[in-house]
């Protein structure tokens, strides 16, 4: 039995004089309670100042509150009450187990109310009503004005922690206020059994105050504080053995336990447990800061000491009086200084919050006022409750559209559904990693079926975290990419995840057919993730796949991060699935039905990106640290495909090279995904120039899951504000139909129909939706780019292999085109982007120029059983995309190269 356990057995409870959001959220606080280290918790302005000012733990909560227009003090109380509620909930089992004997959490009224009785009473009642927990204690300072407030609070049944008690005289007044309050409550016809109170007697500060007034080497040094506390305990015993108390006790009243506060050692010459070891006794509490708690655990001495040496204690105080040191004067000074110290801490706390609030608001630039108004309107319109109630009228008035929405809202509860299947995921991963001896996994899937897996693998790789497998994705039909995947993921060492919600995704099935042949038709190396009843499920059963994961039919592909499409790869990567879902659950709780709109990070982000779009800043420019680059493309998919329809939408512009501030128009909203990087000076310059620049921190690998959930909420809310249905994709079928027709024609005639080029030279062909002029590729491109309009965008759709050489070339093009046109420039590899921004390109605003790039493959690969090659398939997809854009009235220029390596000709022409 350690010292803490012995102290508990002796009748004293150790409470924790500390609170931090991180401890509440990461399980440390819960573990301390479970071990029996702490039996309650206290807070004060200084503690909250340290917690908030010296960490970024509260940034995610503070950000939406600032965007909603709340002031610093209102923000503080929201943050503090959240922490206090969370701590109360963690302590509630102990509170129940001890029948209200322990498990209390204290929150203090504003210190600047210390001399205002009526204002203190009002705030006590407000805090009690807002926290709404039976194991809450509201701290009231034991000033002259505070004592009547103590009585009033007790009289209405509120638990009170009386703080800042220094003198025996004031302590007597506090006990009187408690007893009178109980009597008032009884007189009003109420039970007092549930009312609890502690009287916090401050200890170490007494020695800190008196010692300097004593001669060096005086035997009275370090004696006054303990002596004062022991005499206070003696007074406690007298009061709570009196006839008056006996009458209250018969009514079920509880004693007002003395609580020893300020028990950390201030003088390094004294033992670090001096104010614990010497103050142990029954029916008492000692509230200890972290360092003191550890010291007690390590070498505390557990024995009853409060009732020992009372005569010596009285003598010590008498000697001080004889030495000209008045305890009445000292304790009054300490009370005054204590109040001032808490006021100063509270002032500094509000100053810190206000600085962060201003920074958050200034980050929105010209959007600040409209975002604040929008968040208020979302609250007025009951949008949080309607979201969680699956109210389809948030997005559409069309009955058919509403029916589709109702079918697609299961993503809100994905964390719980995934947690119910953790054993299935873990067992499967164990089977693959330990029994099948597989060391690499390739996901064959497009869009939402593969992007989450890519994010997880990229993050783990970026953080240099070892994984038992190498995981990649194949979301291309480019022959070079397919061949490379075949080399890197040989059948004898690999597991292939064939992922498609519909089960019929052309690229996915082509990839499957290729790898099925390479595996010699060994189904043990394949699993499927698809909707129940799909053609892929039937295929998987026919081919004896190792396993079929039937995905949640109530979740659309782009909202499927926490379904089988993300969870199976996470399990195979040996990610901590509980931790992963804990982060998702955390964000879900932040965005819950009963969370105020101003506090909801998903809703607030949705308000920002929607208001930006409504103000013309519809180019969501996403910048990131390198390890988060895959997540930038995940965001691109969910935002573009959800919002880009009916001529409206928010265009994500992920990872566009950061340029000079003069290159950007007033159509930009910048979002920086920050992990460990330094905030770029160029971003500061953008802010200073009036551009909104929002920073989102993702310090750890698992934080990305919380952000995914936030962006799902944000996207749904933004679409509601814009007046579009977030859950359909009405314009993606056109290019698919054209592609299928071209493939059918090819299979009949052995040739793809693609029309005549408008210009050709040196192996380069140019096709255009309208007439072009120019003798060179440079003049043709220049002429086309002159059609760019302010506030529009240019999209580079490259049906090329996605490798470092091509990415570098596309990035160079983006920078050159932006410099020339002032437009945002997106770049996507086909056919990958068709499952991301394809919907936006056809259904979004008609203010874009499209440059499509295709190339003859250097080497082609046949697609087994399909009667065509990958080179033919990707060309058909490019032509289908091109003609669908023309059909949608878009301006398109197609540049066809004899080889992908010739892409540098386009780069040179743009320079």
Q: C-alpha 385: how far from its chain's center?
A: 20
| Residue 907 to residues 475, 757, 806, 810, 857, Cα–Cα distance (Å) | 25, 20, 11, 8, 19
DSSP 750: S
CB 545 within 8 A of CB 526: yes
3-state secondary structure at position 28:
helix
Residue reference for tokens 């693609």:
754
HSE-CB for 606 with a 13 A CA cutoff: 34
3-state secondary structure at position 641:
helix
CB 672 within 8 A of CB 687: no
SS (H, E, C) 718-784: HHHHHCCCCCCCCCCHHHHHHHHHHHHHHHHHCCCCCCCCCEEECCEEEEECCCCCCCCHHHHHHHH
Angle formed by the axes of helices 72-97 and 327-363, nearest 10°? 120
Torsion over CA of 684, 685, 687 and 693, rounded to 10 degrees? Answer: -60
Q: C-alpha 90: how far from its chain's center?
A: 21
| Bridge partners of residue 261, in order along the sequence | 202
Closest residue by Cα to residue 471 from 485, 463, 482 = 485
- The helix (H) or strand (E) run that includes residue 482 is helix 479-488
Tokens of 475: 């979301």
Residue reference for tokens 């006790």:
249
Closest residue by Cα to residue 260 from 275, 240, 239, 282 = 275
Residue reference for tokens 């190396």:
525
HSE-CB for 694 with a 13 A CA cutoff: 28
CB 746 within 8 A of CB 752: yes
CB 582 within 8 A of CB 469: no
Closest residue by Cα to residue 714 from 667, 627, 650 = 650
Residue spans of alpha helices (H) in 519-600: 535-542, 564-572, 577-590
Measured CA to CA, the distance from residue 558 to residue 446 in angstroms comes to: 10
Whether the CA torsion 529, 533, 536, 541 is positive or negative: it is positive
Whether the CA torsion 718, 722, 723, 724 is positive or negative: it is negative
Measured CA to CA, the distance from residue 379 to residue 166 in angstroms comes to: 46
Torsions phi, psi for 127 (to 5 deg): -65, -40
Closest residue by Cα to residue 379 from 607, 151, 121 = 607
Measured CA to CA, the distance from residue 865 to residue 876 in angstroms comes to: 17
Measured CA to CA, the distance from residue 341 to residue 334 in angstroms comes to: 10
Active site residues: 139
Measured CA to CA, the distance from residue 10 to residue 3 in angstroms comes to: 11
CB 714 within 8 A of CB 602: yes
CB 180 within 8 A of CB 151: yes
CB 652 within 8 A of CB 841: no
DSSP 435: I
């Amino acid at each position: 039995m350690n010292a803490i356990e012995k102290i508990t057995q002796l009748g004293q409870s150790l409470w924790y004089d500390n609170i931090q959001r991180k401890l509440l959220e990461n399980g440390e606080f819960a573990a301390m309670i479970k071990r029996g280290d702490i039996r309650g918790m206290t807070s004060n302005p200084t503690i909250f100042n340290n917690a908030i000012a010296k960490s970024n733990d509260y940034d995610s909560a503070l950000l939406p509150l600032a965007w909603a227009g709340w002031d610093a003090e209102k923000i503080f109380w929201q943050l503090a009450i959240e922490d206090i509620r969370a701590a109360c909930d963690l302590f509630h089992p102990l509170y129940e187990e001890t029948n209200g004997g322990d498990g209390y959490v204290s929150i203090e009224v504003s210190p600047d109310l210390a001399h205002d009785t009526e204002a203190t009473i009002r705030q006590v009642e407000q805090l009690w009503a807002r926290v709404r927990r039976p194991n809450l204690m509201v701290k009231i300072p034991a000033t002259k004005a505070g004592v009547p407030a103590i009585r009033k609070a007790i009289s209405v049944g509120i638990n009170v922690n009386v703080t800042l008690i220094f003198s025996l005289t004031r302590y007597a007044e506090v006990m009187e206020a408690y007893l009178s309050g109980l009597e008032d409550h009884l007189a009003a016809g109420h039970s007092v059994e549930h009312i609890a109170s502690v009287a916090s007697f401050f200890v170490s500060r007494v020695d800190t105050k008196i010692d300097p007034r004593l001669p060096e080497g005086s035997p009275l040094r370090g004696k006054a504080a303990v002596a004062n506390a022991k005499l206070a305990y003696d007074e406690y015993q007298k009061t709570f053995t009196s006839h008056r108390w006996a009458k209250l006790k018969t009514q079920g009243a509880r004693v007002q336990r003395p609580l020893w506060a300020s028990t950390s050692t201030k003088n390094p010459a004294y033992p670090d447990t001096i104010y614990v070891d010497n103050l142990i006794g029954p029916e008492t509490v000692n509230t200890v800061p972290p360092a003191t708690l550890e010291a007690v655990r390590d070498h505390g001495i557990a024995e009853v000491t409060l009732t020992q040496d009372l005569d010596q204690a009285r003598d010590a105080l008498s000697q001080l009086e004889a030495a000209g040191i008045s305890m009445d004067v000292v304790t009054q000074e300490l009370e005054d200084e204590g109040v001032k110290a808490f006021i100063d801490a509270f002032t500094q706390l509000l100053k810190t919050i206000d600085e962060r609030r201003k920074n958050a608001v200034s980050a929105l630039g010209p959007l600040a006022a409209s975002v604040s108004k929008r968040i208020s309107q979302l609250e007025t319109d009951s949008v949080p409750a309607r979201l969680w109630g699956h109210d389809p009228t948030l997005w559409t008035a069309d009955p058919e559209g509403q029916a589709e929405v109702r079918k697609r809202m299961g993503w809100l509860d994905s964390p719980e559904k995934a947690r119910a299947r953790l054993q299935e995921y873990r067992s499967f991963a164990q089977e693959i990693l330990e029994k099948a001896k597989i060391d690499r996994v390739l996901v064959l899937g497009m869009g939402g079926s593969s992007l989450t897996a890519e994010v997880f693998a990229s993050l783990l790789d970026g953080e240099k975290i070892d994984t038992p497998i190498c995981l990649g994705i194949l979301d291309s039909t480019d022959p070079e990419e397919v061949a490379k995947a075949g080399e890197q993921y040989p059948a004898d060492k690999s597991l292939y995840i064939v992922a498609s919600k519909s089960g019929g995704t052309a690229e996915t099935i082509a990839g499957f057919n290729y790898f099925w042949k390479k595996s010699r038709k060994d189904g043990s190396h394949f699993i499927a993730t698809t909707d129940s009843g799909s053609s892929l499920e039937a295929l998987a059963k026919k081919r004896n796949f190792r396993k079929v994961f039937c995905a949640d039919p109530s979740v659309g592909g782009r909202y499927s991060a926490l379904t089988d499409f993300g969870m199976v790869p996470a399990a195979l990567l040996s990610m901590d699935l509980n931790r992963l879902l804990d982060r998702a659950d955390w964000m879900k709780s932040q965005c819950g039905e009963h969370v105020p709109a101003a506090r909801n990070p998903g809703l607030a982000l949705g308000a920002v990106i929607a208001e930006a779009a409504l103000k013309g800043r519809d180019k969501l420019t996403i910048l990131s640290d390198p390890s988060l680059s895959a997540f930038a493309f995940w965001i691109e998919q969910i935002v573009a495909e959800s919002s880009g329809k009916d001529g409206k939408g928010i265009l994500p512009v992920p990872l566009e090279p950061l340029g000079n501030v003069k290159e950007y128009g007033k159509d930009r909203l910048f979002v920086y995904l920050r992990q460990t990087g330094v905030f770029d000076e160029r971003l500061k310059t953008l802010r200073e120039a009036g551009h909104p620049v929002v920073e989102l921190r993702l310090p750890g690998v698992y934080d990305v899951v919380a952000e995914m959930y936030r962006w799902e909420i944000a996207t749904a809310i933004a679409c509601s504000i814009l007046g579009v249905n977030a859950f359909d994709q009405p314009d993606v079928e056109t290019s698919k139909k054209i592609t299928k027709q071209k493939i059918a024609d090819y299979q009949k005639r052995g040739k793809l129909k693609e029309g005549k080029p408008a210009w050709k030279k040196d192996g380069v062909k140019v096709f255009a939706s309208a007439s072009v002029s120019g003798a060179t590729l440079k003049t043709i491109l220049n002429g086309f780019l002159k059609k760019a309009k302010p506030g529009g965008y240019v999209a580079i759709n490259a049906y090329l292999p996605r490798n470092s050489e091509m990415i570098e070339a596309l990035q160079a093009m983006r920078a050159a085109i932006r410099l020339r046109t002032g437009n945002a420039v997106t770049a996507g590899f086909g056919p990958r982007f068709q499952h991301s921004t394809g919907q936006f390109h056809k259904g979004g605003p008609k203010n874009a120029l499209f440059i499509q790039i295709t190339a003859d493959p250097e080497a082609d690969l046949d697609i087994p059983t399909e009667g065509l090659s990958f080179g033919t398939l990707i060309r058909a997809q490019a032509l289908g995309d091109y003609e669908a854009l023309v059909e949608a009235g878009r301006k398109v220029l197609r540049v066809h190269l004899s080889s992908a390596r010739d892409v540098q000709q386009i780069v040179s022409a743009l320079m």
